[in-house]
Structures are given as structure tokens and as C-alpha cells.
Structure 1
């Protein structure tokens, strides 16, 4: 469509939730290109390529909205005694039949029609006096999500970076359980937060980013501790397994002792070969019953997931290039291929079950260690366009579109994350079933869930394929329905939800999330009085309903921020957009301003770890602390260590319900795990936790490190138990 935007196009876009403009700041409005609007409408099944098509589509949409009895999904908050507006708008005399999740039916003809129903997603059929009939999904959700059980602190870590002397070259679920057990019992932590553990796109080299997975529904078996699989002890080919263990030891030593990067593909090659041997062992009757129950619980979704990975072994990971027929998961060709690959489908099904089991075991370990929350898992904002989810759930993805972010103060070119978005209309039509099933799967083993870019529950920036991020537009979702489903599933699991709400946020979003009990994310360096003088926000003015941290995986570690090392890194990589002297001066001024506030509050000390740890048993029995025993030894703490502790004392002064400690801060690591804006220039997602000199620190040394123990002493008053 060419020429000036018409009122009809703007109206059509509005009725389908497609923005024609947006406000990156209260005093600035940006008009999006017509091409982005037309492309987004096309992805929603609406033709807007000509003025005639726009007029016809607008007439159809207005007529459909005018004549429908109910929207496809209706939300009722359990604490509200009144019917939802969509129900109260039904014509007088409309007969409503409700079929609950449990299969119970009831007929209602007078208000209130839906109040008093049990929590769940029910089916509603409305029949008007004039004979019109409508079917809808009714989500009855609790008013609020579960709140954290008291105030606590926890550790933030990228699991792959947490190597022990038992792992196979990257951190695994055995390491996670070990860390959780130590952190809960010895350090009194309330949770451990990890990166997304979703299934990666198969093949080598695979994308190392945990935020661009093949599937969010099922976890990645690369995280398995192979030796913890019960059938491992009964595998017949011991010589083969011994050889794999030797190769794994060399891979591990290369990372921990020789400075090599984490090689996920090499780790998976070894584990896959070992698991082929281990999974040849028949399951005992009890294990078989548990496996069958898992298959029954996940049904078609699990079958599709395993089928994708079996097909990818033959045809490659990009399903869009597969032979005719196999691109459709419901085709006869796919059914024949699935039957012919039954052994491989079963293999990948077993892997999903084993990984789920070790994830649940890690959560049990955390809770048994006294953690009130346990493991906090991370939900990526989307999936790879050629992966398992996009193959199995094609009907709910918007073809030809990619999710990203518009230009902002941090990235003038905008961002394209290469993730296909869900279609809001298709989600509503199926009662948000894909979202419900995704959440239910994650909450099986999550004490809490962090939702990356939680603003995506409200709107996402859609970019037409082949266009730059600047030429996209926002598409809105039914946030009330998304939040209701989230509240329902989190409530059933008793799990806390944390929303990553950093950056530009649409007005009213944070308030809505807070009202429903979704915690926000507050990072120290961004907490300033942006509506006033721009100075650091004093602790008493921070919000309480949040996870407060000093940094994240996408930001410099605290020591790098305080010393300015992050500027030097970006300068070496040619990433600075201003002269290096200007960047350094700004970084020094920023750190100095925060340090002045910390010092003014009396939070900075010059006491070394040996003195700050207190009595020998302050972090637990001496023999539980590793080789250093009950008291720390070594040189007095540096100014840097005192400043890092002061930063965390500041976080403790805020009213934040949860406080997160970036685990690499406990050993002085300078390197961010991910450096946005880089690819080959920087080893994103492949770095082990290291000390200030860049030497990898295994889990066994990490938990005994005086610097970490002194840092965790800051939170002595929050210890659980």
C-alpha cells in the first residue's frame, strides 16, 4: 500500500492490535512505516495491501466484532463478585452453559453467570434469544500470584559457567544441586537463579545463547549429569563409558586448567554417546511407570518434540528445508516418518524425561536445604524460527515476522532478536493453550520463574523479515488473559514470578504487574531519580516488590563497573560510539557518584574477609566449608572487595523482597557472560566463572573462596532456617 496513511488503515490496525505509532518517551511520538503495519496485518491473516482491501477488511472486522456474542477468551478474577464485562454485555435472556476443566456442566441464565466457578480454564457456550451461539474459553484465575515466603537473598549464575571437578566441560544439573545444597545449608540463601535451560537447536555448531532456544517447553539434555541416571550403573559397555569419562576429564581440564572456552557442542557429543549406551538399559517396573506417566502428562507436545529431534538427525535442524510433507507435523508423511524412526523418537523422549527428573531433584535438594524458594528458572522471550516449537506450533506463530526492540537510548539501530512471535488472535482462539502448557511444564521444577522481557505479555515489537529493526511496529496482546493464565499456573504450583522489566516500559505496565503480584527487576546502576535530578536513588525509595541486583548476565560484573574495566573491554573490541576518554570519564563519574552515596550511608569498610566473616562457624560447620576450614585466611581485602560488599549492603537496605548476588562477583570476575552487540568479537555464553585474573574457578574452590564467603556474610540477617 502506498501513499499517505488512511484513516481506514489506522482503524483496521487498531482493531487488530497493531500500532501505527508509539511513544519512546512521554514527550515524543514516533510514527511507524505503513509497510510495517501492512506486514503485521498480513501476518495476522488480514489483507491491507490496497485501499480496497483495507476497506473490505475493515468492514469484515467491524461486522464480526458487532455480531459476536463473546470474545474467544474471557477472564474472570476469582476475587471479583461480578461477571466479566464481556458476559454482562450478553443480550438479556442469553443461556450460558459452562463446562469446567473437570467436565462438570452447569446452565446459567441470570447474573452472576460465572462467579463462584473453580479456578481453571473452562468452556463456555452462550446462546442468545435470537439463536446466535458463541463458544469461548473462560479463564478463572486467582487475584494475585504467590508472594515470596518472606524476604531472602540468593545467587544468580549461568549454569554452564559453573563447572565442578565432576562435570563434563560445562556446568550441569548435578552442579546445580550441589550449589543449591551448599547455598541453602551453609550460606542461608533462599534461592539460586539460573539461565534458561531450554532445548537448544541441534547440530554443530549450535547457537550457544540460552535465549534463542529450539524449544521452551522441554529442557536440554546437555545439562544432564550422566552418572546420576539410575541406569548408568547397569550399562554393559563399561569400557566405552570409561573412555568417554576420560575424554570428558580432558575437556573439563582444558576449561578449568588451561583457559579454554566452554565447548557446548563437544560436551553434548560425549554425553549423547554415553546416553546411547545408558538408555539401552531396560527400565525397571517402577521407573517404567514413572516414564509412562511423564509421557501421558505431556502427550502430543512431547511426541512432537521428540519427533522433531529425530527428524533433525536425518534432515538437519532447519525444518523449513525438510522434504515435502515433513514441514507439517500433522501430515501423513510425518506420521510415516515418526513410525519409521520410533527408536529415535523414544530416545529423545527418554532424554526429556531424564532431564525433567534431574531438574526436579535439584529443586528438592534446594528445598530440603532450607531454601523457601529454591531454583529460579528463566523463561526466554521466544524460540528459534527453525526449531522444535516453531515446527510443532506453526499455527500460533506469525509467519514472516521477528521479535525485537525499537531504537532507544542504548541502541539507536534497534534490535532484531530473530524470534518469531506468537499470534495474539490464535492464542486467544485456543484459550492460550500453548502458554498454559509451557508454564505448567516449567513450574514442575521451578520454585520461581523469571520471565525475560515481561513487557511481551502486553506488546512485542514485530519486524518484517528483510527489514531493519527501525521499520517494525508494536503488536498488542491481551495482557489480562496472559496474566490470568500466568496467575493460574503459578498459583497451582505455588511458585513466585519475577518479570524482567528493564528498559523502556509502556505506561501502566509496571503498575499492572505489581497489582497482580509479579515482581519486577531493579538493577542498582539503573536506579536513579529519572524524574528529578538524576542522582542515585536512595535505598528507601526503591520498590519493595522486586528482585534487586547489582548486575545481570548482560551487564559488567560489579568489579568491572567499579574499576572501569567494562569501558576498556568495549574499547578493545571497537564497540565505543564516543571517544574512549569520554566513556572513561563518564564511567568514573558514575561509579564515584554511587560510591559517594554508599560511603555517606556508612556502608563502605576496609575490613578484609578474615575479619568480616566473624566466628569460625558463622557460615556453618568447619568441615562443610571445604579446605579452608572454619575461618578464612589470606591477605586483607582490597578496596575493591570492600566496595563490592558495600554495594550489596546497599541492596540489603532497600525494601526489595528478593536480593540477587551475581555469583562471579564473589570471586572478582571481570567479564560479562554476554556482551550485547557482539557475536564473533566476544565469547558470549562460553565463559567459566573466573577470578580477577581470569583463572577459571571450579565449584569446589568457589564455595570455599574467602572473598565469596565475606560477601555472603553481608546477608547474615537474611539467612534461612
Structure 2
């Protein structure tokens, strides 16, 4: 295949054959990259050119053009609406000769019959639910929390949904409208060393290590199992008292205890509530439970067993007789993993209900990771839906000159269309269930993602297009159905016009303090922040306010040799000194220009000012991470490393309730006061 033909095929498959970097320099995608990605894309399902797809996505009140040739100016149609009512009429002809369905006002998933064919019309509202609708027009505010870092009595060294429920009550009592949480996607029970919440096994199910056993079992039952298993109290206390989570040890302890509870109280006579839960989640949940048991079995045979693509051929197919035989022979193992999902869901339901009952007007805001680990259960069970053989990441930029490979895969655009967007809708619903909102990680992925062929460097990727208009409309439809607000993490390289398109759908972007600057680098006053975006001091991937002020992040970058190429630590510290002066001038323009000292006490003053500053932003919702409410210097995650920094291991301080501490209470009061109308 010559270069011209290759590039034409790549463009037809949705691959950009050139891209422009953050400096505006254009780059041509290499032929090896295009060939590698075409092999992945063309190996998946697709629709015939003249086929009516299983789902057509439209917008309420707007005519929908169907991918069907119009053989006349009047084509009869019949619409069975989601509520059971019926509509009928005639479609017309569009300018390009296709069938043009008249505007349908009713929102929902409707069955459309037209021209002897049938499909689902997903008719979306014009936009997502807004914060103003949730708060009756008030400017809302909330906190953000890493669930695993929370503490509760006898928690075994990992935070859980019971601790989340307690924090939700505390936050609501302080007047918070929302509580944004870290991702709760299912991880790998047999691989506890993989604990980044953004590298899940499945986005359809939950991280069972966050399950709160006390949401079902009594203290007496738990104590009896601890004694039967002879778990020494000192081992548990050591894990609970540690400043960092020991994931392998704490996970092993929690799973051992949960298995004991399952064997003693659940295995022989599952409660009716659990049985109903399993029935409601059907085959998808069964596949996840089988995968968890099967992966543990295969890992027992060697480290290659962690990746299902290295399993014996029969076990790679979830519908094979061999997999069915395994599930039958080890039905108690499978049952244990199904029990864990029920218990986790029960705990998360309880936390969401606690937030609502305590008066939060929005409630919990879930976090939807950008992709899925290709060695996980969601890809194993739904192989046609994913780009197996491709990874998502980011192209080279000044902060990552070699590019980034996140080790995750994503949906196949062809499979999305061919399967009626089933995988996307199921994943979105899993995030929105129980919640008052969702944050979509790397929301630009609704339109395009940087995809890297297997075995290539992160720089040798290409942008792959997705049906962005359809996906945004589906987000709006599910937001409407779940009465949930939507935040899009839009940091980094953003396609031209993307933010405006997202704003029209009321998908809120993120205004992070560190990036709210003018063309000269000065920090913007809060009244100049975006009126349709969420305001926040920082994110889990960025320095906390106290850490930024004290240059804790620069210290880590120096230690890990992560400073940008050609940057000396002296230069970074000098630049930070100038930025401190600029930030303090913005935070306290009425005070003396001398910034607070670069000490913990000085940083505490800056955190106070930042909480009030973000509260005064024009944003409909302001979010203060719990790290900043407490004035902590360490950020939860330092991108670019998996071992040098204690990513996703830090626990919040022990002792009194977090929000009752004087520093936290003062900052919440400053934030709350700043959110009130002038």
C-alpha cells in the first residue's frame, strides 16, 4: 500500500494523519503508526454504508437526518416512546437526499420504525442538568476527597464508603452542596499492587476494597471472624496507624476478613437483597465475578496469568464451554466476588443517601476514568467494544517531551456505532447511578484521543476521532435521566472550539487556580473566571496550595529528576518566588505587598486566602479539595512516576473529625461566605 492510499484509509477510519503540538508546530504521523492503528481499527465491528444503525442520536425539538436515502418526499414513520405512548407521521427529504425525521419533543430512548427498518432514537435534551437547577439558582460549593485516604475506626488501613458517608454528613452540616469523590471503579482483587483508581479493571463495577463491611455485618459477627481467623490485633493497628496505605498488606487483610464473613454468613444462604442485586445486574456482573476468580487462578500459575490475553485460548473467550465449566466448578469463588460487589454497592448507596439526607443539593459527584486497563474484566468480557492493541495517552509537550502512554485502552468508534453506543451508555450509567453528578476525566476524549499502537513509543501515536456530537448528546440525556450535573476535566491540549461545544451542552470545564492567568502570567481576579466552569484551588495531580507555596512539588521533581529539560532547580525556585508574589497580589490586593513567609505558618495564611478567593469566583460551583481544607502539603498523585512518590497511598490525619478541626472549619467558613451573594 502506497503512502497516499494508506493516509486516505487512515483518514476514513478517523485517524488524523498530522497533528499540531502545544507550540503550534505541525507533525506528520508516521506510516508505521498508521499501519499499526489501522490493524486495530479495521479488525473491529463496523456498519455497512447503507445500514440504519441500531441507535440514532438526536436532540429534542430538532429535526434528525437519518443515514437512509429518501426514496420520496414523504416517508411514513412510527415512534414507540419510552413511556409507552405512540407517535406517527411522515419524514421528509434532507438537502443531501437523506430521510429527515421531523423534530420530536419527547426526551428519551424511543423505538423508531421507518422504511421497513427499525432503530432506537435517543432523543436528548439540549443540555445537561445545571448547578443552578440543582441549587435553585444559588452558587454552590463542595469538597473533593480521596476515599481511600479517609479514616474510620477499625478500617484495617484503607478508607471505605462508611467513612465517606460520615464525611458527607460533616460537609452537609457545614453547608456544602456537593462532595466530589475519587474514582470507585473495580480494580483487580488478585493484583493489589495496582491501585491507581484511574487504571481500573472495569468501569462498570466497584472497587471492593472500599466496601464497608459494617454496612451489613454486626460488630459481633466481624469480631467472631477475626477470632476464628486468628488475625492479630497488632497487625491491624499497624496498618490503621500508618501515614501511608500499605496496599498489598491492607488489601490482603480486608479480603481475608470479607471472605470469612462470606463463608460464615452469606455463602449458603445469600440474603434476598443480594439475590435481587445479582439478578438486576445480570450477565455483565456474572462475567466480572468469573473474571476475578479466573485471574486469581491463572496468577497462581505464574505472573503471565495477570493478563487474559496470555491465557489459554479457550479461557480468553468468556462464552466458551471451558469458562462455563470453570465458573461451575468454582462457583463459591465466583460467588465471593459477586458478594463483594453487592456489599460495595450497598456502602456507596448508603454514602449517597447520607449526602442527600443531610441536605446536600447536589450530593456525591462521581469520577469517570478516561479508559480501562486492557488486561481487565471489562475488556475480557466485551472485546469487540474496545481498541485491544492500542493505548491512550498524550502527545509530546513541554512538560512531557516524550509523550505519555497511560496504559489504558478505550472504546472502538466503529463498535460504538455498530452496537448502538451500548458500551458508552452502560459505562456512563454505572458512574451516574446513585450520584448527583459526574466528572469525566479527559473529557476531550468525547471528540478525540491520542492513541498509540501496541509496542510503539508514546510519541508515535495519532489522534483518533470519536462521534463527539452523539456522545455529548448522550451525556446530556443521561444527565437528564439521573438529574446529575456534569463536569469535564479539560486540562491540557484541547481541540479548537471544544470548550464552546461543551459549554453549549452545559458540560462544565475546570478553572484551576494555578492556570487562571492573563497573557502576561499574572493571576486573574476571581470575577474574571469562567462563568460556566467549576472553580477549584487544585486537583489530585497538581500541588496543594500549601505544597505549592512551600515548593514541595519542586522538591519532588528534583528528587525524581522530573524537572523540564534544561531547567535547573534554582531556576524553578526563582520562578516560583515570582509566582508567589503574583499570587499574593491577586489573593490580597488590599494588603501590604509582602507575601507570607515560605513556612508552614505562612502557607496556612495563603490557603485561607485561596479558599476565599476561589469562593468568590464567578463559577456556578466552587470545589475545595480536602487536602487544601486541611492545609496539607502533599498532593495525592504526582504524574510521571509510579514508585518514587507515594501516589494514591496518603491518608488524611488521624484524630478529631476532619471538618471540625479549627483550620478546616475556618476555611470552609471563608469559602461559604465568599459564595454568598454580594
Identify if the C-alpha distance between structure 1 residues 655 and 109 changes in structure 2 by more than 3 Å, giving closer, same or farther. same
Other-structure match for 2:250: 267
Of the three residues 51, 59, 62, the one matched with 1:77 is: 59
Other-structure match for 2:443: 454
Is 1:299 the counterpart of 2:282? The answer is yes
For structure 1, which runs of at least 5 residues remain unmatched after alignment?
A: 48-59, 128-132, 608-635, 690-696
Q: CA deviation at 1:397?
A: 0.9
TM-score scaled to structure 2, two decimals? 0.89
Cα separation, 2, equivalents of 1:135 and 1:522: 44
Other-structure match for 2:375: 386
**5 Å matches for 1:101-140?**
101=82, 108-111=89-92, 113=101, 115-116=103-104, 118-127=106-115, 135-140=118-123
Other-structure match for 1:492: 481
Other-structure match for 2:670: 714
Cα separation, 2, equivalents of 1:26 and 1:704: 47
Other-structure match for 2:575: 586
Other-structure match for 2:658: 702
Identify if the C-alpha distance between structure 1 residues 678 and 205 changes in structure 2 by more than 3 Å, giving closer, same or farther. same
Q: CA deviation at 1:314?
A: 1.1
Cα separation, 2, equivalents of 1:286 and 1:377: 33
Q: CA deviation at 1:668?
A: 2.8
RMSD across aligned positions (CA): 3.0
Of the three residues 387, 391, 411, the one matched with 1:422 is: 411
Identify if the C-alpha distance between structure 1 residues 331 and 287 changes in structure 2 by more than 3 Å, giving closer, same or farther. closer
Other-structure match for 2:610: 647
Cα separation, 1, equivalents of 2:240 and 2:340: 26
- Say which SS state the counterpart of residue 588 (structure 2) adopts: helix
Identify if the C-alpha distance between structure 1 residues 294 and 471 changes in structure 2 by more than 3 Å, giving closer, same or farther. same
Other-structure match for 1:33: 30
Identify if the C-alpha distance between structure 1 residues 602 and 376 changes in structure 2 by more than 3 Å, giving closer, same or farther. farther
User: Quick check: 1:262–1:687 contact (8 Å CA) kept in 2?
Assistant: yes
Q: CA deviation at 1:424?
A: 0.5
- Say which SS state the counterpart of residue 365 (structure 1) adopts: helix
Of the three residues 339, 357, 360, the one matched with 1:350 is: 339
Q: CA deviation at 1:712?
A: 1.2
Larger deviation, residues 564-573 vs 167-176 = 564-573
User: Quick check: 1:415–1:469 contact (8 Å CA) kept in 2?
Assistant: yes
Other-structure match for 1:50: none
Cα separation, 2, equivalents of 1:528 and 1:16: 38
Of the three residues 13, 16, 19, the one matched with 2:16 is: 19
Is 1:314 the counterpart of 2:297? The answer is yes
Is 1:163 the counterpart of 2:151? The answer is yes
Q: CA deviation at 1:325?
A: 0.8
Identify if the C-alpha distance between structure 1 residues 476 and 134 changes in structure 2 by more than 3 Å, giving closer, same or farther. farther
Identify if the C-alpha distance between structure 1 residues 254 and 212 changes in structure 2 by more than 3 Å, giving closer, same or farther. same
Other-structure match for 2:512: 523
Identify if the C-alpha distance between structure 1 residues 588 and 70 changes in structure 2 by more than 3 Å, giving closer, same or farther. same
Identify if the C-alpha distance between structure 1 residues 90 and 195 changes in structure 2 by more than 3 Å, giving closer, same or farther. farther
Count of residue pairs the alignment pairs up: 653
Of the three residues 158, 168, 185, the one matched with 1:180 is: 168
TM-score scaled to structure 1, two decimals? 0.84
Larger deviation, residues 579-588 vs 275-284 = 275-284
Identify if the C-alpha distance between structure 1 residues 716 and 602 changes in structure 2 by more than 3 Å, giving closer, same or farther. farther
Q: CA deviation at 1:26?
A: 8.0
User: Quick check: 2:607–2:631 contact (8 Å CA) kept in 1?
Assistant: no
Other-structure match for 2:303: none
Other-structure match for 2:97: none
Identify if the C-alpha distance between structure 1 residues 274 and 241 changes in structure 2 by more than 3 Å, giving closer, same or farther. farther
Cα separation, 1, equivalents of 2:227 and 2:431: 34
**5 Å matches for 1:242-641?**
243-244=230-231, 246=233, 249-255=236-242, 259=243, 261-280=244-263, 288-316=271-299, 317-529=306-518, 532-576=519-563, 577=565, 578-600=567-589, 638-641=601-604
Larger deviation, residues 701-710 vs 354-363 = 701-710
Cα separation, 1, equivalents of 2:556 and 2:307: 35
Cα separation, 1, equivalents of 2:361 and 2:594: 31
Other-structure match for 1:665: 628
Query: What is the CA deviation profile of residues 358-389 of structure 1, one whole-angstrom value per residue up to 9, with x for unaligned ones?
Result: 10110111111111111111111111111111
- Say which SS state the counterpart of residue 590 (structure 1) adopts: helix
Q: CA deviation at 1:715?
A: 2.1
Cα separation, 2, equivalents of 1:107 and 1:190: 43
Q: CA deviation at 1:504?
A: 1.1
